[in-house]
Structure 1
Amino acid sequence: MSETYNWDRLFHAYALATDTPAHLEALVGPDETAFSTAMEHLYSAVLHQGTIYPATGPAVAAVAQAVSFWSGDADRRTASTRLPALVDFLDAAGDSLTQAGELFADGAEVVPPSAEKEREFFETLASDDEEEAEEAWESPVAGALMTLAVPALRQHTDPVLEGLLQLMESDALGHKAETVSALARWNGTATSPYRHRVAAAQSAFADSATERDDRAAAVLALGTAGADVSGWLADADPAIRACAALHLPSSGQATEELVRALTQPEEVDQWFERKPNSLRMHVRFTLLNSLLQRDTTFAAILPAAVAIAQLSTAYTADSDWGPLLRAAFPEVEFVPGEYPPVPENIGAPQRQLLAALVANEKLWGTNIGNAGLALMRVGLPYDRHAITLLLNDGTVDE
Structure 2
Amino acid sequence: MAEANEAVAAVDWNRLFHAHGPATDTPRYLQALVSDDDAAVAAAYQHLWSAVLRPGTVWPATPPVARILATLIHDPRLGAGDETIRQGLLVFLRAVGKAVAVVERIAPVRESAYPSDASVTGAWLGAYLTADEEDRAALCTHPARDLVLRRAVVDCFDLLPELLDQVKPFLTHPSPAVRSCAVAAIGTLARHPAAAPDRPALIHAFEQAVRATDDIREHAALLIGIGELGGTPRAWLTDPRPGVRGCAALAPTLADDPAAIDVLVALSRSPRAFDRAFAPMLAPPAYRLMSLPQFEGTPRWALIDTVCARVADFERIATGALAVVPLAFRMAPCPDLGPFLEVAFADGWPTPDAVTPAQRALVAAVGEHDELWDPDNAYRQATLTDLGLPDDRERWQALGRPPVFRDHSGVWLPDGLRGLRLRPMRWVGAERTDPAFAGKIVSRTAAAFSAGADNGPQAARITIQSDLTFTLTVEGRGLPPSRRDGEPFALTEMFTGLSTGQMPHLQFGINAAYCSAVSVRSWFDGRVYAQEFIDLAPLGPVEDIGATDRSGFEVIFTLDSQWLPADAVIPRSLGTG
TM range (shorter): 0.7 to 0.9
Q: 1:108 aligns with which of 103, 107, 110?
A: 110
Aligned-pair identity (%): 26
**Residue of structure 2 aligned with 1:21, choices 18, 27, 30:** 27
Bigger CA drift: 277-286 or 239-248? 277-286
**In the TM superposition, what are the counterparts of 1:14-93 in structure 2 within 5 Å?**
14-70=20-76, 78=81, 80-93=83-96
Aligned residues: 382
Deviation (angstroms), 1:26: 2.5
Name which of structure 1's ranges 172-181 and 7-16 shifts more when overlaid on structure 2: 172-181
2:188 maps to: 185
Query: What's 1:153 paired with?
Result: 156
* Paired letter, 1:154: F
Residue 97 of structure 1 corresponds to 100
**315, 318, 328: which is aligned to 1:302?**
318
Instruction: Say which of 214, 219, 222 aligns to 1:218.
Output: 222
Does structure 2 conserve the Cα–Cα contact (< 8 Å) formed by 1:64 and 1:164?
A: yes
Written as runs of structure 1 = structure 2, the 5 A alignment for 1:1-398 is 1-70=7-76, 78=81, 80-98=83-101, 107-112=109-114, 114-127=117-130, 129-130=132-133, 132-171=135-174, 175-189=178-192, 190-192=194-196, 194-195=198-199, 198-247=202-251, 248-272=254-278, 273-309=289-325, 311-315=326-330, 318-332=334-348, 342=351, 344-375=353-384, 377=387, 379-383=389-393, 387-388=397-398, 391-392=401-402
Please tell me whether the aligned partners of residues 68 and 164 of structure 1 are also in contact (alpha carbons under 8 angstroms).
no
With CA pairs under 8 Å and 6+ residues apart, which has the higher RCO, 1 or 2?
A: 1
Amino acid aligned to 2:354: N
CA pair 303-115 structure 1, distance change in 2 beyond 3 A: closer
Cα drift, residue 229 of structure 1: 1.0
Q: How does the TM-score come out when normalised to structure 2?
A: 0.60
Aligned residues of 1:46 and 1:56 also touching (Cα < 8 A) = yes
Larger Rg: 2
Q: Which amino acid aligns with 2:154?
A: P
Conservation of the 8 A alpha-carbon contact between 1:67 and 1:167: no
Task: Tell me, in whole angstroms, the C-alpha distance in 1 between the residues paired with 2:128 and 2:83.
Answer: 39
Q: Which runs of 5+ in 1 are unaligned?
A: 333-339
CA shift in 2, pair 1:130/1:288, >3 Å: closer
Cα separation, 2, equivalents of 1:26 and 1:75: 9
Q: Aligned equivalents of 1:174 and 1:242: distance in 2? A: 19
Cα contact 1:269–1:284 (8 A) shared by 2: yes
Q: Deviations over 1:122-165 (max 9, x none)?
A: 33123255555455433332211101211210111122122221
- 1: CA distance between counterparts of 2:302 and 2:274? 11
1:335 maps to what in 2? Answer: none
CA displacement 1:347-376 (0-9 Å, x = unmatched): 212122223333444323442133245556
Higher strand share: 2
Question: Is the contact between residue 242 and residue 277 of structure 2 (CA under 8 Å) also seen in structure 1?
Answer: no
Q: 1: distance between equivalents of 2:312 and 2:234?
A: 19
Partner SS for 2:74: helix
Relative distance call for 1:326 and 1:81 in structure 2 (3 A) is closer
SS at match of 2:401: helix
Tell me, yes or no, if the aligned pair for 1:262 and 1:288 is still in contact at 8 Å.
Answer: yes
8 Å contact from structure 2 (residues 190, 196) kept in 1: no
Distance 1:77 1:348, change over 3 A: same
Structure 2 unaligned residues grouped into runs of 5+: 1-6, 279-288, 405-577
Give the conservation status (yes or no) of the 8 Å contact 1:54–1:146.
Answer: yes
Q: Cα 1:44–1:109, aligned 2, differ >3 Å: closer, same or farther?
A: same
Q: Distance in 2 between matches of 1:105 and 1:116?
A: 22
Structure 1 residues 21 and 201: CA distance shift in structure 2, 3 A: farther
Q: 20-29 or 114-123, which moves further after superposition?
A: 114-123
Structure 2 CA distance, aligned partners of 1:358 and 1:119?
A: 56
CA-CA distance at 1:59 after TM superposition: 0.5
Computed over aligned residues only, the root mean square deviation of the Cα atoms, in angstroms, reads 3.0
The answer on whether the counterparts of 2:314 and 2:343 sit within 8 Å (CA) in structure 1 is: yes
Runs of 4+ in 1 over 6 A off after TM superposition: none
